[in-house]
Structure 1
Amino acid sequence: MLAVWLRVSMAAGETGEALVAAAVALLDEGGPGAVTLREVGRRAGVSHNAPYKHFADKEALLAAVAARELAGQGRAVHDRLAGPQPPGGVVRSIMHAYVAWALAHPARFKLVYGAWTRGSAELGEAAAATRSAFVSAVAQAQQAGQLPAGDPERLTALLLALAHGAVDLALAGHLAAAGKGRADPSDLVDDLLAYLGPPASA
């Protein structure tokens, strides 16, 4: 998995990385509509033709942006797995970090988990590696008795569906600690993990 993340960060070289970084900034400022290859080149300080030497079109550039975001999440999951936290705490911290990222960067969140009209090997590899690392964290928590037994893939899907849906509701104004639901997405993550965890008497 580390090899995949390293390939994602190194594949395009310094100019490619500068173009991706410029695209991320434009995405944060105005969503996908604000990202154009010409403006990305201008922001990165290269010629207007340079982006086309690295990316076939805008969708290829946005796929590289999404791959970078997923690769960063994957590295964070790997670091937590190697840390001192118990397995259940690792899963909780992964979920909280995911929610924090999505709320802080809604355009990136919607890009990464939106529809794509064609495949991208780089994006596919980053997504698979990140998902695999999270499934591994869930499986370890199951083995430690801190999450219920069962298919770790399916339990991972449940956790991600809750977090993803809660973020969508919060971004649309339908979920807030002081408003609808009387909770924010992180609160609902904690609620679900409490429901799934061992009984208090254990």
Structure 2
Amino acid sequence: MTPSTRDTLMAAAAELLDEGGLEAVTLREVGRRAGVSHNAPYKHFADKEALLAAVAARELTNQGAALAAALRQDPSPETILRSALRGYVAWALAHPARFKLVFGFWSTNSAELAAAADSTRTMLIDVVAAAQRAGWLPAGDPERLTALLQAVTQGAVDLAISGHLEAQGKGHASPDDLVDDLLDHLRASARVTSRV
């Protein structure tokens, strides 16, 4: 299936973002990179912010698709959650500018971005709730526990990207190591709580 012009423009914007950050992404350069006229991007996106919101939405949709695929392949919430968080770390480290874009401040309202964020987050909360029901994570508000998991994972990635966390250096851990540590601590906490 041939990608649409809109998809081609988003792919070009993601490439530019990877190569030079937000400053490298201009609608003119996106059009040139995509091989279309310099006016073509304006037919699909009102401005740079709208284009970047579409790129961020696509990144979140891809994260959601990976989580959905894991859910179809493995019924174990433990395996799915660990795999999802490690996959997220791998994506963020491979694409730090996309990571910062997705979780940065947004001054525009994008229904597409909001829907992608909500859908992916809801799936993750459902996996956390399933892990709680299985006794693998401690009981409590699954949304709050999901926020804890995201905060530690995103914080670990941010520290690694900025050079403040590495297995053989600061912190003596990679982001994956910290994800595993957190999940192992939560699992141990769930076991202790279930015995009380």
Shorter-chain TM band: over 0.9
- Name the residue aligned to 1:178: 168
Confirm whether residue 66 of structure 1 aligns to residue 56 of structure 2.
yes
After TM superposition, list the pairs within 5 Å mapping 1:44-193 onto structure 2: 44-193=34-183
Gaps (5+ residues) in structure 1?
A: 1-12
Gaps (5+ residues) in structure 2?
A: none
- Name the residue aligned to 1:6: none
Q: Cα offset for 1:84?
A: 2.1
Give the Cα–Cα distance (whole angstroms) in 2 for the partners of residues 139 and 82 of structure 1.
17
Out of 8, 12, 16, the position equivalent to 2:6 is 16
Give the Cα–Cα distance (whole angstroms) in 1 for the partners of residues 161 and 74 of structure 2.
33
Give the Cα–Cα distance (whole angstroms) in 1 for the partners of residues 107 and 16 of structure 2.
21
Give the Cα–Cα distance (whole angstroms) in 1 for the partners of residues 158 and 107 of structure 2.
22
Give the Cα–Cα distance (whole angstroms) in 1 for the partners of residues 8 and 160 of structure 2.
32
Out of 14, 29, 33, the position equivalent to 1:43 is 33
Calculate percent identity across the aligned residue pairs. 65
* Residue type at the aligned position of 1:164: Q
Confirm whether residue 26 of structure 1 aligns to residue 21 of structure 2.
no
Q: Tell me how large the CA RMSD over aligned residues is.
A: 1.3
Q: TM-score, structure 1 length as denominator?
A: 0.91
Give the Cα–Cα distance (whole angstroms) in 1 for the partners of residues 5 and 65 of structure 2.
22
* Residue type at the aligned position of 1:165: G
- Name the residue aligned to 1:7: none
Q: Cα offset for 1:85?
A: 4.5
Q: Secondary structure at the match of 1:196?
A: helix
Q: Secondary structure at the match of 1:181?
A: coil
Give the Cα–Cα distance (whole angstroms) in 2 for the partners of residues 172 and 27 of structure 1.
17
Q: TM-score, structure 2 length as denominator?
A: 0.94
Give the Cα–Cα distance (whole angstroms) in 1 for the partners of residues 131 and 71 of structure 2.
11
Q: Cα offset for 1:86?
A: 1.1
* Residue type at the aligned position of 2:12: A
- Per-residue CA distance 1:166-191 (angstroms, 9 max, x = gap): 11111111111000110010000000
Give the Cα–Cα distance (whole angstroms) in 1 for the partners of residues 74 and 26 of structure 2.
43
Give the Cα–Cα distance (whole angstroms) in 2 for the partners of residues 23 and 73 of structure 1.
18
* Residue type at the aligned position of 1:134: L
Q: Across the two proteins, how many residue pairs are aligned to each other? A: 189
Q: Secondary structure at the match of 2:73?
A: coil
Q: Secondary structure at the match of 1:33?
A: helix
